[in-house]
Structure 1
Amino acid sequence: MTEFPLLTPAQPTVLMIDQQAGLAFGIGSTDRQLLLSNVVALAKITNAFRLPLIVSTSASKVYSGPLMPAVKTVLPDAVSIERRNMNAWEDDAVKAAIEKTGRRTLLVSGLLTEACVSFAVLSALAEGYAVSVVADTCGGITLESHSLALRRMEAAGATLTSWLQVLLERQRDWTRKETYNDARAIVEAHAGGYGIGLAYARDMIHPI
């Protein structure tokens, strides 16, 4: 049986591909505002757990625009690597930046699932990287094409996950004080009913 161990903060690099408004306009696989909230949550997780981050954009001057402002606000120091190729793995600067981290595990988020996400994921898998696709921070032109791209990546060996699972897998224990406040704040801001419940517990439930 193949083992899929839980990841620790010391393992992954976050690869964020083409989180740009010009591409987000075409998303039909999910609600765009929800998608943006999920991407912002992942950006906050990257900061909270001090994960290496590689950001890449494409056609930012002619079509797609810069990194979405809400994401850039969370990641003010992130320098985006501009590229021409749809496949970030075939861009020398992107690949060199990933290799420089020394890590062989990737958490991938991006637009569009059918192209820039899946191309990079399939290429990384082919070179022996362990890849988790943060599926709810990716978007496709249609729900069907998004789902088919996810299925193709999973069949090739990628693990599908969500931003919330990424957070909880790294926090692992709510008594882990060094990341507790940040992790809880992310859940409260972005996790819907679960976040509401955490806020309620904080404000209303007191030990006897």
Structure 2
Amino acid sequence: MTVNQSRYNHNPMRLSSTTEGSIKKGLKGASLLMGIVILVLSITTEHAVAAVENLQVRQMLTENSGNGILDARDVQILFVDLQPELISSSRTIQPAALTANAAVLAQVARLTHVPVTFSIVPVQGKPGRNLPALTPYVSPKNTVRRVMAGTFMEPRLVDALGAYKRKTLVVAGYATEVAVLQTALGALKAGYTVYVVMDVTGSRSERTEDAAVRQMEMAGAIPTSVLAIAAQLAPDFSRTPGSEVLLTFDSLSPP
């Protein structure tokens, strides 16, 4: 009897070349599909993370600045190291302009019943003094002397600001890279919403001042001007105190 050897040599687990080729193509297709899925998920995840980060930034800005308009009842102003001997070296704004604008800001504060605080440092071993133009607004009660670069390193000043229970702090001073920068960062850390008045801050270098301003902005501080602050504290110029605030604008000096 003749035996069909092919029947016995046939391996049921062995696939035909056609079937094997189809499976390989299928696996390649599945791998490609899986790769596309992973890529899509990766892109989607990145977009989702970016969206969350953007939302967090928007929420932070909302929490820090409310509706973006200052409320005079929640504002206080801090003048830092605006001293004749210090501002004389200012190059980003002329000392005369810095002085004039500081006086206007202090006058606006008085007209709108916004409390002000002055912080000064010793100069060449002698007690510091505020700009003469600020003298009408200075008193022993609202002046805090310190020796630290940062105002928030001085507990007495921290307590003085906290006593007002106003959480929006407007900062003006000299120099932008030192006293103003450290004040802004310290205030932000302490939970204040911080505005930096750029036409009442000065520096010896435009380049280094720009870097300090960028650092403050990245931390959450808001650059502004005397005019912008004044118009928000007293927006109705048809009656007091807005009409009186309006008169101070003529005394402003461009940087």
CA deviations on 1:86-134 (whole Å, 9 max, x unpaired) are: 1110101100001100111100001111101101110111222110011
> What letter matches 2:82 in structure 1?
Q
- Helix, strand or coil for the counterpart of 1:109? strand
Aligned to 1:164: 227
Partner of 1:174: 237
Superposed counterparts of 1:103-118, under 5 Å: 103-118=166-181
Shift of 1:155: 0.8
* Correspondences of 1:75-114 after superposition (within 5 Å): 75-77=137-139, 79-114=142-177
Displacement after TM superposition at 1:63 (Å): 5.4
Q: Which residue among 187, 192, 207 is the counterpart of 2:249?
A: 187
For the 8 Å contact 1:56–1:81, the answer to whether it is kept is yes
* Residue 82 of structure 2 corresponds to residue 26 of structure 1: no
Matched to 2:215, the amino acid is: R
Match of 1:8 in 2: 71
Extract structure 1 runs of 4+ deviating beyond 4 A. Answer: none
Cα RMSD between the aligned structures? Answer: 1.8
Gapped runs of 5+ residues in structure 2? Answer: 1-57
Aligned pair partner of 1:50 in 108, 113, 135 = 113
Q: TM-score when scaled to structure 2?
A: 0.70
Structure 2 residue aligned with 1:41, among 95, 104, 118?
Answer: 104
In 2, distance between residues paired with 1:60 and 1:34? 22
User: Hey, what's the Cα distance between the residues in 1 that align with 2:247 and 2:237?
Assistant: 12
Query: Aligned in 2, Cα 1:60/1:81: closer, same or farther, shift over 3 Å?
Result: farther
* Number of residue pairs matched by the alignment: 190
Residue identity in the other structure for 2:235? R
- Verify the 8 A CA contact 1:135 1:150 in the aligned structure 2: no
CA 1:191–1:173 in 2, change beyond 3 Å: closer, same or farther?
A: farther
Any idea what the Cα deviations from partners look like across 1:163-198, whole Å, max 9, x if unmatched? Answer: 0100111121222x2203421220122267xxxxxx
8 Å Cα contact 1:54/1:98 also seen in 2: yes
Residue 214 of structure 2 aligns with an amino acid whose one-letter code is R
1:28-49 per-position Cα deviation (integer Å, ceiling 9, x unaligned): 1122111111111111111111
Cα distance in 2 for partners of 1:157, 1:63 equals 35
**Structure 2 CA distance for aligned equivalents of residues 139 and 63 of structure 1:** 22
Aligned-pair identity in percent equals 24
Which of 1 and 2 has greater Rg? 2
Aligned counterparts of 2:123 and 2:117: Cα–Cα separation in 1: 16
By how many angstroms is 1:18 displaced? 0.7
Query: TM-score, normalized by length of structure 1?
Result: 0.85
Whether the 8 Å CA contact 2:236–2:243 is kept in 1: the answer is no
| C-alpha deviation, 1:53, in angstroms | 1.1
Q: 1:107 aligns to what SS in structure 2?
A: strand
Q: Which residue of 1 aligns with 2:211?
A: 148
